[in-house]
DNA sequence: TACATAAGAATAG
DNA sequence: CTATTCTTATGTA
């Protein structure tokens, strides 16, 4: 598995991919966090190899995205190495949310298990593919930001970016 | 309107 | 089984 770090205005994103596609895109803003993520990879028995050259496409897409382009990452091959079947369903559903649009946990839940809105949040909190799976476009039913594991600032930033209020 | 609380789905330990 | 989570609905003031 290969990985690299992509820097953006609020920190960095650790990208990791297998031979099949992108597997992780985790937010890191400190050396400590990076270390933590790497530890968890190690524990999962992944062989890590830094190789920036493997991420031409990803870097391209991310830099376009942070420039405010309507980049959906829908063409990016993904490879889910973690996650339960339910989580994958949630992630796939969240991924269908178009750029700039927002869904609510409830509406997502209705499409999946009918009333497990809380479990939707739980599943999204374990989203391994920040931005690519636009969990930041999922808001609470009154339109407000609820919690965000990777940091509310990131969620807020991403939303503002998509609304064109930020030029990165 | 604001705050406390119950309910309810799925997962990790 | 219990705790936790990117929730929602309801009751009370």
Identify the CA nearest to A78 among candidates A151, A154, A124, A133: A133
Q: List the structure tokens of A102.
A: 């927002």
Largest CA distance in chain A: 44
Round and report the angstrom distance from CA (A158) to C1' (B5).
32
Is A135 in the active site? Answer: yes
According to the model, what pLDDT value does residue A93 have? 92
User: Distance from residue A1 (CA) to nucleotide C7 (C1'), in Å?
Assistant: 36
State the pLDDT at residue A168.
54
For residue A81, the model assigns a pLDDT of 87
Mean pLDDT in order along chain A per 10 residues (168 residues) = 90 90 89 84 81 93 91 89 90 92 90 81 90 91 80 86 76
Instruction: Give the per-residue pLDDT at A83.
Output: 86
Q: Enter the tokens of residue A16.
A: 């990791």
> What is the predicted pLDDT for the residue at A167?
63
E strand or H helix that includes residue A62: helix A56-66
Torsion (CA) A64, A65, A70, A71 in degrees, nearest 10: 90
Establish whether the CB of A149 is closer than 7 Å to any nucleic acid atom in strand C: yes
Distance set, CA A108 to CA A28, A86, A112, A155 (Å): 27, 13, 7, 18
Domain A85-162 has CATH 1.10.10.10: yes
In sequence order, the 6+-apart residues with CB closer than 8 A to the CB of A136 are: A148, A154, A155, A158, A159
A85 nearest nt, CA–C1': B10
Q: Where are the domains of chain A?
A: 2-66, 85-162
pLDDT of residue A75: 86
Model pTM? Answer: 0.88
Show which positions of strand B are touched by protein (CB under 7 A): 7-12
Dig out the tokens for A143 from the structure.
């339109």
pLDDT value, residue A163: 86
- A156, A58 Cβ separation under 8 angstroms: no
Place of tokens 């990452």: A73
């Amino acid at each position: 598995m290969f990985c690299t770090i992509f820097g953006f205005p609020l920190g960095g994103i650790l990208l990791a991919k297998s031979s099949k596609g992108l597997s992780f895109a985790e937010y890191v803003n400190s050396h400590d966090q990076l270390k933590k993520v790497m530890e968890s990879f190690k524990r999962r028995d992944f062989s890590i190899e830094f190789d920036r050259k493997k991420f031409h496409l990803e870097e391209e897409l991310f830099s376009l995205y942070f420039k405010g382009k309507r980049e959906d990452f829908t063409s990016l091959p993904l490879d889910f190495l973690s996650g339960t079947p339910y989580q994958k369903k949630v992630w796939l559903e969240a991924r269908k949310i178009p750029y700039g649009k927002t869904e609510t946990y409830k509406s997502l839940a209705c499409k999946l298990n009918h009333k497990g809105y809380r479990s939707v949040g739980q599943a999204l909190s374990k989203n391994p593919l920040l931005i690519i799976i636009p969990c930041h476009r999922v808001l609470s039913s009154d339109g407000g930001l609820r919690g965000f594991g990777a940091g509310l600032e990131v969620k807020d930033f991403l939303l503002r970016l998509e609304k064109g209020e930020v030029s990165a």
